[in-house]
């Protein structure tokens, strides 16, 4: 006799379940002995209660075969997704194809540009972002070290993917954050979506995308990186604009500024420190996801880490991990230095 037979018997659903009622069927010897021992030993009732399983799908299915099991539910989710897969692919393919083109172009440029151009160029970008020759020298030294250990090509692949995905995160995330700051209703709708994107395990992003796109398409890992990394810039843009002093907005209204003038002339400049903090976090999360995306053919240092895990090549995995750490430190230093410049500029009183 199953544990939850009494539920279906009391509800009169035994015929629907397809089994005769417990009273109509003869009891087995084991059930008779169990019943007798229950009468003799009062503590057996407590033991049965202690071992009572939760009324899950599988437990209820034991009492009623017509109840779905957990594997039936998971199969239903899979069948539903596969049923709309072709339609989703028709809709998403043309919308996401530019992402593949951008990633392919960035990877091509990073692989064909000579090192004696790429290293000074990235050092100059770091200098103009941070206005620090020391930081520019650190970037040049890091890239030279990676080139010295023959990891420069892999590092450039990783950086090119991060630049494209982080730029798209900013391009889409900042407008979404601005729209959320304008509408409390939109904010209430978006916050659960952002919470879900932020808490989903990184590997889960790859599962539906593998069914939608070919593993050879760069947009497969590009979409996963963008979905994972876009959350901070959206949240901090919304927060930054909402934290703008109301008195400043009232002063802008008194001067007769339009909504567009207030946005670009007052709100975004005052919210820029928060927006830059979101950009910093987005870049760091993009780097973390690039390593995971190596499982679905994303090039870069993550491929070497994956090779070290699969082939148990300790040295390969550790050296590639060191390269990722150096890239993370380099990107973090540059973006934080740029954020410090923005904070210092916003702190200077304007006359």
- What is the full per-residue pLDDT of the chain (351 aa) written as tens digits? 567 887 888 887 878 886 544 444 455 555 555 555 444 554 556 667 777 888 888 888 888 888 888 898 899 889 998 888 889 888 889 999 999 999 999 999 999 999 999 999 999 999 998 888 999 999 999 999 999 999 999 999 999 999 999 999 999 999 999 999 999 999 999 999 999 998 888 888 888 888 888 888 999 999 999 999 999 999 999 999 999 998 998 898 888 888 889 999 899 999 999 999 999 999 999 999 988 899 888 999 999 999 999 998 999 999 999 999 999 999 999 999 988 888 777 665 554
Burial letters 52-72, b for 16+ CB under 10 A, else e: eeeeeeebbbbbbeebebeee
Residues 241, 268: Cα–Cα separation, whole Å: 7
The pTM score is 0.84
Count of helix runs (H) and strand runs (E) in the chain: 18, 0
Q: In Å, how far are 130, 200, 241, 244, 274 from 271, measured between CA atoms? A: 19, 28, 5, 7, 6
Q: In Å, how far are 119, 204, 250 from 141, measured between CA atoms? A: 9, 36, 49
Phi-psi region for residue 297, left (φ > 0), alpha (ψ -120 to 50) or beta? Answer: left
Residues 279, 285: Cα–Cα separation, whole Å: 10
Direct distance between the N- and C-terminal alpha carbons of the chain, in angstroms, rounded to an integer: 85
Are 234 and 177 a contacting pair, CB within 8 Å? yes
Give just the sign of the alpha carbon dihedral 314, 110, 299, 329: positive
User: Domains along the chain?
Assistant: 5-67 (no CATH), 81-347 (1.10.3720.10)
Take residue 15 and report the two structure tokens written for it: 């015929």
Residues 320, 146: Cα–Cα separation, whole Å: 10
Tokens 């100059």 belong to 124
Q: What angle do CA 154, 157, 159 make, to 5 degrees?
A: 110
Q: What is the DSSP letter of 256?
A: T
Residues 21, 57: Cα–Cα separation, whole Å: 20
Spatial neighbors of 74 by CB under 8 A, at least 6 apart, are none
Give the DSSP per-residue string, 311-330.
TT-HHHHHHHHHHHHHHHHH
Smallest CA-to-CA distance from 138 within 343, 345, 333 is with: 333
Take residue 187 and report the two structure tokens written for it: 């904010």
Residues 93, 88: Cα–Cα separation, whole Å: 8
């Amino acid at each position: 006799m199953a544990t939850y037979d009494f539920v279906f018997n009391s509800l009169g659903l035994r015929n629907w379940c397809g089994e005769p009622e417990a009273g109509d069927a003869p009891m087995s010897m084991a059930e008779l002995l169990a019943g007798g021992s229950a009468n003799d030993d009062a503590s057996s009732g407590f033991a049965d209660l202690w071992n009572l399983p939760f009324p899950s799908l599988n437990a209820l299915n034991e009492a009623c075969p017509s109840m779905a099991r957990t594997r039936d539910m998971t199969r239903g989710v899979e069948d539903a997704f596969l049923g709309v897969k072709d339609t989703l692919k028709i809709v998403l393919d043309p919308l996401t194809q530019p992402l593949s083109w951008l990633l392919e172009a960035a990877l091509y440029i990073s692989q064909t540009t000579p090192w004696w151009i790429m290293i000074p160029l990235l050092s100059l970008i770091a200098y103009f972002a941070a206005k620090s020759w020391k930081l520019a020298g650190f970037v040049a030294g890091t890239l030279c070290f990676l080139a010295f250990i023959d990891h420069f090509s892999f590092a450039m692949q990783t950086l090119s993917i991060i630049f494209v995905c982080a730029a798209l995160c900013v391009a889409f995330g900042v407008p979404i954050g601005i729209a959320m700051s304008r509408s409390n209703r939109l904010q209430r709708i978006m916050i659960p979506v952002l919470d879900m994107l932020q808490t989903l395990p990184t590997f889960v992003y790859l599962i539906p995308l593998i069914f939608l796109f070919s593993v050879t398409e760069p947009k497969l890992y590009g979409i996963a990186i963008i979905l994972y990394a876009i959350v901070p810039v959206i949240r901090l843009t919304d927060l930054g604009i909402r934290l703008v002093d109301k008195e400043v907005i009232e002063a802008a209204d008194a001067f007769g500024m339009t909504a567009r003038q207030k946005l670009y002339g007052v709100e975004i400049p005052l919210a820029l420190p928060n927006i830059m903090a979101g950009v910093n976090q987005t870049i760091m999360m993009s780097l973390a996801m690039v390593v995971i995306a190596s499982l679905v053919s994303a090039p870069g240092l993550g491929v070497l880490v994956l090779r070290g895990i699969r082939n148990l090549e300790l040295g390969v995995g550790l050296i590639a991990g060191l390269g990722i750490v150096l890239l993370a430190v380099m990107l973090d230093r540059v973006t934080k230095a740029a954020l410090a410049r923005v904070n210092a500029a916003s702190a200077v009183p304007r006359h």
